[in-house]
């Protein structure tokens, strides 16, 4: 069984680091490849393309990311605190179209070896990856891309959860947790990976006898089969993204608090 992973801020696998661009790999799991990127002003990203077999998501941490959509190259400004989700076969690209820096997380679910693609580019090697030129017919409608849609699903003393994405490949929520708030009891996921990115504050995870403390900018990944629970342990509210890959009904669980792929142990 794989071990849990904790990556503090700035300690991911570096793909490139310069004044205008820094990219780190946070996750290289087959269910999820995740990166943290910083782009300088007016830095170009990927040209228009499609993915045939996976979903592409962007969560902006700071600044504004310009997402490009469709053969017409329509643009959408994605501001800090916003998720953009692009399904398979929707034509898209991205860039920093502003005068300031942008920092964002990029999630590919399932991973489709995106991390290996980045390593190959860094090392000057060719690598075949699930990225293809825009199809002549334009692919799926750009209306299927979702930007900035949130659904408040949990509101109780000290805990607030917004659902950002709920598709088969990935479920994503943004959570706010106050110190000493009641959270999920110790549990295990049998069929999927859980990942957490701490946006602010401090979380402490109990993982099969281990305790890991995660502060702002930390990435935590919990493999299937690892019993875990967490608590907000700092003096202030914690904010964090929670990802489940594949989703295994995460959205439905949050809406009904029943029937999720979760076993309490």
Contact 1, 225 (CB under 8 A): yes
φ/ψ of residue 184, rounded to 5: -60, 140
Residues of the chain with pLDDT under 70: 1, 257-265
Tokens (6 digits) for 114: 């995106």
Q: What percent of the chain shows pLDDT beyond 70?
A: 96
Residue spans of the domains in the chain: they are: 5-147, 151-264
Distance between CA atoms of 208 and 64, rounded to whole angstroms? 39
**Confidence at residue 41, expressed as pLDDT on a 0 to 100 scale:** 98
Fold of 151-264: Jelly Rolls (2.60.120)
**Confidence at residue 246, expressed as pLDDT on a 0 to 100 scale:** 98
**Confidence at residue 257, expressed as pLDDT on a 0 to 100 scale:** 67
Indicate if 151-264 has the same CATH topology as 5-147: yes
Q: Which CATH superfamily is domain 5-147 in?
A: Jelly Rolls (2.60.120.10)
């Amino acid at each position: 069984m794989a071990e849990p992973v904790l990556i503090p801020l700035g300690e991911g696998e570096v793909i490139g680091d310069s004044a205008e661009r820094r990219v780190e790999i946070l996750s290289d799991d087959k269910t999820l490849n995740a990166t943290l990127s910083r782009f300088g002003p007016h830095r170009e990203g990927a040209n228009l393309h499609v993915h045939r077999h996976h979903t592409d998501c962007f969560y902006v941490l700071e600044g504004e990311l310009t997402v490009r959509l469709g053969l017409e190259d329509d643009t959408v400004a994605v501001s800090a605190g916003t998720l953009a989700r692009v399904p398979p076969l929707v034509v898209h690209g991205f860039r920093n179209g502003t005068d300031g820096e942008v920092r964002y997380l990029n999630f590919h679910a399932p991973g489709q070896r995106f991390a290996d693609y980045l390593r190959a580019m860094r090392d000057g090697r060719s690598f075949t990856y699930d990225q293809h030129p825009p199809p002549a017919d334009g692919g799926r409608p750009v209306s299927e891309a979702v930007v900035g849609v949130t659904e408040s699903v949990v509101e109780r003393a000290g805990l607030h959860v917004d659902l950002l994405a709920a598709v088969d490949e990935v479920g994503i929520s943004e959570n706010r947790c106050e110190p000493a708030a009641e959270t999920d009891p110790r549990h295990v996921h049998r069929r999927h990976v859980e990942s957490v990115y701490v946006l602010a504050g401090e979380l402490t995870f109990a993982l099969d006898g281990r305790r890991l403390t995660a502060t702002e900018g930390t990435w935590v990944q919990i493999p299937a089969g690892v019993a875990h629970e967490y608590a907000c342990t700092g003096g202030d509210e914690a904010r964090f993204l929670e990802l489940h890959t594949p989703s295994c009904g995460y959205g439905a669980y949050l809406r009904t608090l029943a029937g999720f792929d979760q076993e309490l142990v």
